[in-house]
Amino acid sequence: LLAIDYSLRFLFGWTQKLSFSARDSINRLKVYNFKPHPSDVIIATYPKSGTTWMQAILYQLKTDGDLDNIEHIMRFSPYLEEEIDRVEQLSSNRIIKTHLPPDELIIEPSAKYIYVQRDGLDTAISYFEHHKLIKKYTGNFEQFFEKYVNGDVPYGSWFEHTKKWLALKNRDNILFVNFEELKNNPKDEIKRISDFLDIEMTKEKYERTINRSSFDYMKRHEDKFCAVKYFVSQHFGTGNFINKGIVGRGKFISDKQRKQFKNKMTEYFPDNPE
Ligand code: A3P
């Protein structure tokens, strides 16, 4: 059954929306069959929800935190869907980034997962800007938003993705972190993350982690954190990936869009549409 399941996923692709080459297809199959090691930590997010931020936090928690020691944060924490071969070479104690929903991953009960969730409207704006940034998308925000609420973007519906991860909320090996809480209260959230990972904290490491995962610090070192520079073009300038880093970006969207979003929230989260 598992084999059929994976073959079907392979045939249909995980986002359906992206065209992919034969090489990509083989990689996809490898990704679907990827079984984490019990010592791995997996950072799972819908795109633009604070993935790189969490990678930066774990870099501080798991190493001496010196950015001079890495060319790019992806060298420390590879992206499962893009770098499956390197993920496999590393074999254990990995910090892996993924945007896949849980039903497209093999969940290893002894590995640890950190799911970062961000407000859906803020994510929409950040995702739109990201599309613009990589020059893939020529439409305006209204057109993008229409696609976003209908799940017609890479990685599909934010509502579905969020709902699938939240359904695992009672699992001990998955930590749920909110972008907004991390922004408003980094001290407590970093403590929660280090406790979850059983990392012994000194005062120095704690303070260093807070400082070096701050927006200002990451912006200053954007060349080490910019995924576009790493995956799309080395020539990509800095200043737009570690972008605004604020909560409440969605407040500028129109009433019509807000209503559309709310209707979807009610559809997917009838018990808690807020
Ligand atoms: P904005 O585009 O709203 O500014 P991801 O890493 O998943 O692609 O998420 C990118 C978003 O996280 C961007 O949001 C980026 O600015 C924000 N971000 C990255 N590091 C941050 C930090 N230290 N503090 C706050 N936001 C951060």
Query: Does 98 sit in the ligand 1 pocket, CB within 6 Å?
Result: no
CA distance linking residue 68 with residue 51, whole number of Å: 21
Please name the residues in contact with 35: beta carbons below 8 A apart, sequence gap of 6 or more: 106, 108
Note whether residue 205 is domain-resident.
yes
Domain harbouring 174, CATH code? 3.40.50.300
Q: Which two tokens stand for residue 97?
A: 């980034």
Would you say residue 17 lies in a domain? no
pLDDT in tens, 215-242: 999 999 999 999 988 888 777 766 688 8
Task: Write down the pTM of the prediction.
Answer: 0.92
Q: Is residue 9 one of the residues assigned to a domain?
A: no
Inter-CA distances, 221 with 3, 72, 238, Å: 44, 10, 9
Q: Which of 37, 99, 161, 235 is catalytic?
A: 99
Is 8 inside a domain boundary?
Answer: no
Cβ of residue 49 lying under 6 Å from some atom of ligand 1: yes
> Is residue 99 annotated as part of the catalytic site, yes or no?
yes
Domain that holds residue 200: 34-268
At residue 252, does pLDDT exceed 90? no
144 domain residue, yes or no? yes
Position 76 in a domain: yes
Question: pLDDT value at position 194?
Answer: 98
Given ligand 1 and candidates 48, 97, 220, which is best to mutate, with the most ligand atoms within 8 Å of its CB?
48
Is residue 135 pLDDT above 80, yes or no?
A: no
Q: Interface pTM (ipTM) of the complex?
A: 0.99
Q: How far is the CA of 77 from the centre of ligand 1 (A)?
A: 16
Report how many domains make up the chain. Answer: 1
* Distance between Cα 242 and ligand 1 center (Å): 5
Please indicate, yes or no, if residue 27 is contained in any of the structural domains.
no
- Where is average pLDDT lowest: 115-119, 191-195, 207-211, 248-252? 248-252
pLDDT tens profile 50-74: 999 999 999 999 999 999 999 999 9
